[in-house]
Structure 1
Amino acid sequence: MLRFAHIEYLWGLVIIPVFIIAFLAVSIWKKKAISSLGDKKVVMMMMPQVSLSRPWLKFIFFLLAYAMLIIGIADPQIGSRTEEVKRKGADLMILLDVSNSMLAQDLAPSRLENAKRAIAQLIDRMHDDRIGIIVFAGQAYVQLPITTDYSAAKLFLSTINTEMVPTQGTAIGAAIDLGMQSFDFKNGTGKAMIVITDGENHEDNAVEAAAAAKSKDVSVNVVGVGSESGAPIPVYDEQGHQTGFHMDHETGQQVVSKLSEDMCKEISAAGGGVYVRANNSNSGLGIVMDQINKLQRKTVDSRSFKDFEDRFQFFLAIAFVLLLVEFFISNRKNMRLSGIKLFEVKKP
Structure 2
Amino acid sequence: MTFANIEYFFLLLLLIPYILWYVLKNKKKEPTLLVSDTTAYRYAPKSYKNHLIHAPFILRLFTFVMVIIILARPQTSNSWKNTQVEGIDIMLAVDVSTSMLAEDLKPNRLEAAKQVASEFIAGRPNDNIGLTIFAAEAFTQCPMTTDHAVLLNLFHGIKTDMAQRGMIQDGTAVGMGIANAVSRLKDSKAKSKVIILLTDGTNNAGDISPLTAAEIAKSFGIRVYTIGVGTNGLAPYPMPVAGGVQYLNVPVEIDTKTLAAIAGKTDGEFYRATDNKKLEDVYKDIDKLEKTKLNVKQYSKRYEAYALFAWLAAVALLLEILLRMTILKKIP
1:109-146 CA-partner distances (Å, limit 9, x unpaired): 21111111111111121132210000111111101101
Aligned to 1:318: 311
Q: 1:86 to 1:208 in 2, by over 3 A?
A: closer
Instruction: Report the alpha carbon displacement of residue 211 of structure 1 after superposing the two structures with TM.
Output: 2.3
CA distance in 1 between partners of 2:304 and 2:203 (Å): 56
Q: Report if aligned partners of 2:86, 2:190 keep a CA contact under 8 Å in 1.
A: no
Q: Percent identity?
A: 27
Verify: 1:272 aligned to 2:267, yes or no: yes
Structure 2 vs 1, CA of residues 310 and 171 (structure 1 numbering), >3 Å: closer, same or farther? Answer: farther
Q: What amino acid sits opposite 1:276 in the alignment?
A: Y
State the partner residue of 1:219: 223
Structure-1 separation of matches of 2:185 and 2:124: 18
Q: Kindly provide the amino acid, as one letter, of the partner of residue 293 in structure 1.
A: E
Post-superposition offset of 1:200: 2.6
Query: 1:19 maps to what in 2?
Result: none
Q: CA deviation at 1:244?
A: 2.4
Deviations 1:234-265 (A, max 9, x none): 1469xxx962247xxxxxxx644444433322
Residue type of the alignment partner of 2:131: I
Alignment of 1:98-117 (within 5 A): 98-117=96-115
- Mapping of residues 146-225 of structure 1, within 5 Å: 146-164=144-162, 165-185=167-187, 187-204=189-206, 205-225=209-229
Q: Once structures 1 and 2 are overlaid, which stretch shifts more, 92-101 or 179-188?
A: 179-188
TM-score (norm 2): 0.63
Q: Which amino acid in 1 is paired with 2:194?
A: A
Give the Cα separation in 2 of the matches to 1:119 and 1:319. Answer: 52
Number of aligned residue pairs:
248
Task: Name the structure 2 match of 1:337.
Answer: none
How big is the shift at 1:77?
Answer: 8.2
Between the aligned partners of 2:239 and 2:320, the Cα distance in structure 1 is 73
1:282 and 2:278 correspond: yes
Calculate the aligned-residue CA RMSD, in Å: 3.8
Amino acid of the structure 2 residue aligned with 1:170: T
Change (3 A) 1:140 1:325: same
Contact 2:89 2:188 in 1 (8 A): no
Instruction: State the secondary structure of the residue aligned to 2:287.
Output: helix
Question: What are structure 2's unaligned runs of at least 5 residues?
Answer: 1-73, 328-332
| 1:262 matched to 2:264 | no
* Superposition deviation, residue 320 in structure 1: 5.3
Query: Match of 1:154, SS?
Result: helix
Q: Deviations over 1:217-238 (max 9, x none)?
A: 111110111012131321469x
SS, match of residue 219 in structure 1: strand
The CA deviation at 1:316 is 5.3
On the 8 A contact 1:230/1:258 being kept in 2, the answer is: no
1:216: how far off? Answer: 2.1
- The whole-number CA distance in structure 1 between the counterparts of 2:240 and 2:311 is 63
Q: Which residue of 2 aligns with 1:127?
A: 125
Distance 1:316 1:158 in 2: 46
Q: 1:188 to 1:107 in 2, by over 3 A?
A: closer
In structure 2, relative to structure 1, the CA distance for the partners of 1:305 and 1:137 (3 Å cut) is farther
Instruction: Specify whether residues 314 and 158 from structure 1 end up closer, same or farther in structure 2 by C-alpha distance, changes over 3 A only.
Output: farther
> CA–CA distance in 2 between the matches of 1:318 and 1:327?
14
Change (3 A) 1:260 1:303: same
Q: 1:198 to 1:333 in 2, by over 3 A?
A: closer
Q: Deviations over 1:88-113 (max 9, x none)?
A: 32211000111111111111221111
- For 1:265, the aligned partner's letter is A
CA distance in 2, matches of 1:152, 1:309: 32
User: Cα deviations across residues 293-344 of structure 1 (Å, max 9, x unaligned)?
Assistant: 28xx6x6755456799995x8635633541442354269989xxxxxxxxxx
Check the 8 A contact 1:80/1:307 in 2, yes or no: yes
**Superposition map of 1:66-81 within 5 A:** 78-79=76-77, 81=79
Partners in 2 of 1:198 and 1:220 — Cα distance? 16
Pair 1:333–1:153, CA change in 2 (3 A): closer
Task: Give the Cα separation in 1 of the matches to 2:199 and 2:302.
Answer: 44
Partner Cα separation in structure 2 for residue 310 and residue 230 of structure 1: 69
Letter in 2 for 1:216: F
